[in-house]
Amino acid sequence: MIRDVLKIGALVFLLAVLQLSAMPQLTPGPAGPDLLLILVVMVALLRGPEAAALTGFAAGLLLDAMLVGRLGLSSLLYIAAGVWVGLRAEPGDQVVPTIPAPPRPSAQLAYVVAATALVQVATAAAHVLLGDSYPVRYELTTVIIPTIIDTTLAALVLVPLLRRLLPYRIRLDGYPVAAL
Amino acid sequence: MIGLLLAASLTLLTLSFREGSQGAIGAIQRGALATTAPVSSVVTRITQPFVDAWHWTSGLVDARAENIKLKREVAIYAAQNQQLQQLRYELAQDNQLIKFTDQSRIASQYDYVGGSVIRQVPNAYTQTITIDVGSSEGVAVNDPVVAPAGDSNEFAGLIGRITAVTPSASSVQLILDPDSAVSARIQGGTVHGVAMPSDADPGLLSLKMVPQEEQVSTGQVVVTAGLQANAQHLSSLLPAGIPLGQITSVSQDELATTKTIQVTPFVDFGSLDRVLVLKVHGP
């Protein structure tokens, strides 16, 4: 478990730095991939909703701190995304000791895309509530849709990588092993 | 635990709103910034070559795409320019023919119709062209055909006569055709002769049957005399005074009874396009 904590902590730090330092330069257009969200979704799928909530909180906190933005907003959204994915992907009524199959790669990618869309729409909605929103057309064409596309493309590389770094483990009751 | 984390996030958000970049929240942000800045700097340095390579590649792709686009535009503009040049040329020719019809005494005596060359036989033995006006426009056999005279002082020059007519097209025998012979005279004088294609140069005319005693010099203008002839007999009339060409050489053989006079036609037969048919024989 400690190894998982260290690995996920390092990944949060590394992906946050990459997301803010390298990705804006490497991706065309004003948007960039949400690498931290990919991590949160993968933790949710491979380690369960609680681990995903903790990862989301840490990732969001670091991201907002690095951006010198509204501290807590990204955490809130990442936690929500991680918990949502984690709960949806839970094995459910498994008969112990049946071992649930890990989510398929295509399903993992689908979760990443769905979570990105939800987080992007929720971020835009939050900004509307906070009074610093842009026109819907601008949000859609320059932020939401490009971010979903960029994140999907990045997920094609990052998801297999994270699957190898965080191997799928299950408990005897059929639930994924909590990471933290 | 999830509830606790959500509550913590909301608390941070609220504090962030209240304090802005001051207080504990500001300290957290400054700390995070200070911690991550060196790493960001290293990451930026590491990724910079990739970024540069990416920019170089995308710039190359953009440059290539732009190059293809520009080449396509250049081709379009070149074609348009060609079209424009052709229109300018045709306009200049039309202007010359208009001046001919306005200022030539011959043209004012007859009706006329303008046409374009639709077929030209590039053959020294058969110097004929086809034009796009015919009997529907009143064109008749033996009507004289003139064309713009290029850079000379004349506006138009005789190029031939109609030899066959259909409702929409006509065939023109050029004065350079080996079977053509046009009775001619030197403008402003009484010297008469017959203008025929030159034996030496198929692009020139020879003014034949001019007696040795006549005074002829280079630069004089040769015009139609009013009689059209062929090798066998005098057959039909052409209006007098249509410019044919300019005398470029005169030679005299002491043993011969006639002069050898070379006439350069006013019209450039290599680029015939717009023509005017004088309806001398028409209805």
Q: What is the pLDDT of residues B63-76, one digit of tens each?
A: 888 999 999 999 99
Q: Give the architecture-level CATH label for domain A2-93+102-165.
A: Orthogonal Bundle (1.10)
Min Cα separation A37/chain B (Å): 16
- Which pLDDT band, with edges at 50, 70 and 90, does B144 fall under? very high
**A71 vs B12: CB contact, 8 Å cut-off?**
yes
Inform me whether the pLDDT recorded for A72 exceeds 90: no
Inform me whether the pLDDT recorded for A142 exceeds 70: yes
Inform me whether the pLDDT recorded for B202 exceeds 80: no
pLDDT of residue A179: 43
pLDDT of residue B123: 61
Q: Percent of chain B scored above 70 by pLDDT?
A: 91
**B29 vs A73: CB contact, 8 Å cut-off?**
no
> Which positions in chain B touch A54 (Cβ < 8 Å)?
1, 5
pLDDT of residue B160: 93
Inform me whether the pLDDT recorded for A180 exceeds 50: no
Measured at the alpha carbon of residue B85, what is the angle toward residues B83 and B89, in degrees to the nearest 5? 115
Give residue limits of the domains in chain A: 2-93+102-165
pLDDT of residue B222: 93
pLDDT of residue B256: 77
pTM here is 0.50
Inform me whether the pLDDT recorded for A79 exceeds 60: yes
Q: For A80-100, how does the pLDDT look when each residue is reduced to its tens digit (9 = 90+)? A: 999 998 888 776 555 444 555
pLDDT of residue A80: 92
Q: Percent of chain A scored above 90 by pLDDT?
A: 20
**A79 vs B2: CB contact, 8 Å cut-off?**
yes
> Which positions in chain A touch B25 (Cβ < 8 Å)?
71
> Which positions in chain B touch A79 (Cβ < 8 Å)?
2, 5-6, 9
Q: Which long-range contacts (CB under 8 A, 24 or more apart) does A154-159 make?
A: A154/A23, A154/A33, A154/A35, A154/A38, A155/A33, A155/A38, A155/A109, A155/A112, A155/A113, A156/A109, A158/A35, A158/A38, A158/A39, A158/A42, A159/A38, A159/A42, A159/A105, A159/A108, A159/A109, A159/A112
> Which positions in chain B touch A48 (Cβ < 8 Å)?
none
Q: For all residues of chain A together, what is the average pLDDT?
A: 80
Q: For B246-258, how does the pLDDT look when each residue is reduced to its tens digit (9 = 90+)? A: 999 998 777 778 8
**B28 vs A25: CB contact, 8 Å cut-off?**
no
pLDDT of residue A156: 92
**B36 vs A22: CB contact, 8 Å cut-off?**
no
Q: Across A31-35, B238-242, B260-264, which has the greatest mean pLDDT?
A: B260-264
pLDDT of residue B75: 92
| Average pLDDT of span B122-150 | 84
Interface check B32 vs A, CB under 8 A: yes
Q: For A104-138, how does the pLDDT look when each residue is reduced to its tens digit (9 = 90+)? A: 788 888 999 999 999 988 888 887 777 766 677 77
Q: For all residues of chain B together, what is the average pLDDT?
A: 82
Interface check B10 vs A, CB under 8 A: yes
Q: Which of A17, A49, A71 minimises the CB distance to B43?
A: A17
User: Cα separation of A6 and A4, whole Å?
Assistant: 5
Q: For B20-50, how does the pLDDT look when each residue is reduced to its tens digit (9 = 90+)? A: 667 777 777 777 777 777 777 777 777 778 7
B113-278: CATH topology is Thrombin, subunit H (2.40.10)
> Which positions in chain B touch A64 (Cβ < 8 Å)?
16, 29
| Average pLDDT of span B158-166 | 90
Give residue limits of the domains in chain B: 25-103, 113-278
Q: For A153-171, how does the pLDDT look when each residue is reduced to its tens digit (9 = 90+)? A: 999 999 989 888 888 766 5
Q: Percent of chain B scored above 90 by pLDDT?
A: 17
Interface check B218 vs A, CB under 8 A: no
pLDDT of residue B230: 53
In the three-class reduction of DSSP (H, G, I as helix; E, B as strand; rest coil), residue A171 is classed as coil
Residue that wins the pLDDT comparison between B244 and B59:
B244
User: Of A53, A49, A50, A43, whose CA–CA distance to A15 is shortest?
Assistant: A43
